Structure 1
Amino acid sequence: MTDRAIPNAYFERVDATHFRATSFVGGAWNVAEQHVAPPMGLLAHVIEQGHATRSPQPMQLTRLSIEILGTIPIDVVEVTTAVVRPGRSIELAEGALSHAGRPALIARAWLQHARDTSALAGSALPDMPPHDEVEVVDPSALWPGAFIETVGEVRRRQVEPGRAFTWIHPKVPLLADESVSPTARLVALVDIANGVTPRVHPTEVAFPNLDLTLHLLRPPVGEWIGFDTTVSFGATGLGLTSTVLHDLDGPIGTVAQTLTVRPHA
């Protein structure tokens, strides 16, 4: 990593619905625009907050589907939410993140109330290699942008281009002076999955994602987040990044990202 000073956070709250992005959200495809990972985390945070204000029954986010409508300047953004399907044990909420009145991200989230199913818990998803047995790498050697420089410690075992195991220990808070759940903190990082193991160097091919869908088995525990990632390109400009997410206790969910594959002329 570079010697850039650690920022206070990626966003600062302005009022109930507005948040000011700091310079540390600078993107990888365009350093003058926001990387969409922190805004996605902000959406998840506000959706969770909205649920908490209207329901005495705590719920956990189980699926979050986000459509990326356009680029986001490094500026003040507005986040609004609404309930699509209220319920005492299951709720469907939606949210939108806008800049200057133009929607940039829209999301739908299923939330479920927690119950004890520990006697049934288990998964056949394969394990990740332990984080302390994986080589430390510098992602800013491949990707520009302030966000990439501030993601924390990154460790990766590259199997082949487009296939890797990556552990990340994030160190920058999503929001200044405001508590954020482990799930929202996770969401603020997961879009990086599309860049942890490119099939082709990004100077040769652009492959931004159009969306992100996260499914969770449980809330994450601890500081480390693991990415078991496979990137696939089709023959007609389509692509898919598929990731199984882990913490140090095992699998926690999956992420899928639709790619638009654009070779540089």
Structure 2
Amino acid sequence: MEIVFFQRDGERLVPTDVARSLWSADQMHGVAISGALARAAEQAIVAEGGADLVPARHTVDLFRPAKMAPCSFATTVVRKGNRLGLVDVSLVQEDEVMARASVLFLMPTEEPPGEVWKRSTPLPPLPDVPVAGPDDVRPPFFLSGDEWSQNFGAHQNAEHKTIWNTVPQVVAGESSTSFTAAAAVADSTTLVTNWGSAGVNYINADVTLTLSRQPVGREIGLTALDHTSHAGISVGSALVFDRAGALGTTIVTALSNAKRTVNFGAVFDGKRGDQDPTSRV
């Protein structure tokens, strides 16, 4: 079975069960939403002759719970220049905007001279399970101690977390770009910054992805950089990396949702990739 977030219905996208959130049975998760918005923005800038521009920043506002219903996408190319492009995208259901994104595209060039301070964030050795092909999708690996594993219950703790993802295709019959894959993964920042000993108690209100280069393929990792919270509002940041090294950051702002905590140890046994809960928060 092809594991994808959406099926095409003309110009609309219809979410599959893989896009269903654990917060509510009739709600899409942010991973699918973010990936679909990124896809629409990328298609819009290419249509304007901006194929040489690369996505450098992707910000999504999740201000309404998107339903498990057909989605349309309204795009506006705010600016398309020689060195910069900016696209606004809205996800629309039943004539109502459910989420929106702003995507910045930049023209790659030569690195300037001189040296700049860079934070040193050591990355752990990665799981030796490379992706076999476009249909090879598996539950993510987590690291919150000494060893990677796909045992979700073992990582429901207050330790520093890292996640290694093999991202599903966003739309059936299409090969997702590496940017679309990274945009989808960005919403999983909550799983390395907001997942603690009592489960995930925060629901994302937004997510921002920044990229200094494009990922290599669909294998993408996130490792927590920071988490702060007060009065039910949390901010979490993570480093984005792939097998070639670090490539960007993510940040999420989230609200307390403790009355509907997602307890991964209770909803998933780690055996079926199509039931991967980390793409369903």
TM-score range, shorter chain: 0.7 to 0.9
Do residues 158 (structure 1) and 144 (structure 2) align? yes
CA–CA distance in structure 2, aligned partners of residues 62 and 56 of structure 1: 13
Quote the residue 1:20 is aligned against: 14
2:140 is matched by which residue type in structure 1?
A: V
Higher alpha-carbon deviation: 235-244 or 248-257? 235-244
Q: For residues 151 and 232 of structure 1, do their structure 2 counterparts lie closer, same or farther at Cα, with a shift above 3 Å needed?
A: farther
CA distance in 2: counterparts of 1:56 and 1:260, whole angstroms: 36
Distance change in 2, residues 1:116/1:133 (3 Å):
same
Matched-pair identity in %: 21
Query: Aligned pair in 2 of structure 1 residues 216, 120: CA closer, same or farther (>3 Å)?
Result: farther
Provide the C-alpha distance between the structure 2 equivalents of 1:162 and 1:70, rounded to a whole number of angstroms: 31
Amino acid at match of 1:186: A
SS class of match (2:198): coil
How much has 1:42 moved relative to structure 2? 0.8
**Residue aligned with 1:264, SS:** helix
1:247 and 2:233 are equivalent in the alignment: no
2:40 to 46, 49, 72: 46
Decide whether the 8 Å contact of 1:57 with 1:113 is kept in 2.
Answer: no
What residue in structure 2 maps to residue 212 of structure 1?
207
Which range is displaced more, 125-134 or 101-110? 125-134
4+ residue stretches of structure 1 with deviation over 6 A? 118-122
* Residue 234 (structure 1) shift: 2.4
- C-alpha change, 1:233 and 1:115, in structure 2 (3 Å) is closer
| Aligned-pair CA distance for 1:213 | 0.8
How far apart, in 1, do the equivalents of 2:39 and 2:30 lie? Answer: 14
Quick one: which amino acid aligns to residue 220 of structure 1?
A: P
Q: How many residues align?
A: 241
**Unaligned runs of at least 5 residues, structure 2:** 130-135, 146-156, 261-281
Q: Is residue 234 of structure 1 aligned with residue 229 of structure 2?
A: yes
Hey, what does 2:182 align to over in structure 1? 186
Judged with a 3 Å threshold, the aligned counterparts in structure 2 of structure 1 residues 230 and 92 are, in CA distance, closer, same or farther, namely same
Instruction: From 62, 65, 86, give the equivalent of 2:56.
Output: 62
- How much is the aligned-residue C-alpha RMSD, in angstroms? 2.7
Equivalent of 2:2, from 3, 7, 22? 7
- Residue in 2 aligned with 1:80? 74
The aligned amino acid for 1:175 is V
Check 1:104–1:153 CA distance in 2 against 1; reply closer, same or farther (3 A cut): same
- Name the CA shift for 1:254/1:263 in 2 (closer, same or farther; >3 Å): same
Amino acid at match of 1:79: F
Contact kept, 8 Å, 2:44 with 2:87, in 1: the verdict is no
The residue aligned with 1:174 is 170
Structure 1 unaligned runs (5+)? 1-5, 135-149
Q: Which amino acid aligns with 2:94?
A: A
The aligned residue for residue 268 of structure 2 is: none
Range with bigger deviation, 111-120 or 43-52: 111-120
Q: Which residue number corresponds to residue 152 of structure 2? A: none
Query: Residue 143 of structure 2: SS of its match in structure 1?
Result: strand
Task: Provide the C-alpha distance between the structure 2 equivalents of 1:74 and 1:264, rounded to a whole number of angstroms.
Answer: 22
From 31, 41, 45, the counterpart of 1:37:
31
**Partners in 2 of 1:229 and 1:31 — Cα distance?**
28
- Quote the Cα distance in structure 1 between the aligned partners of 2:177 and 2:115: 22
On the 8 A contact 2:50/2:80 being kept in 1, the answer is: no
* TM-score w.r.t. length of structure 1: 0.81
Q: Contact (CA 8 Å) 1:162, 1:229: kept in 2 or not?
A: no
AA aligned opposite 1:236: A
What is the rounded CA distance, in whole Å, between the counterparts of 1:78 and 1:43 in structure 2? Answer: 10
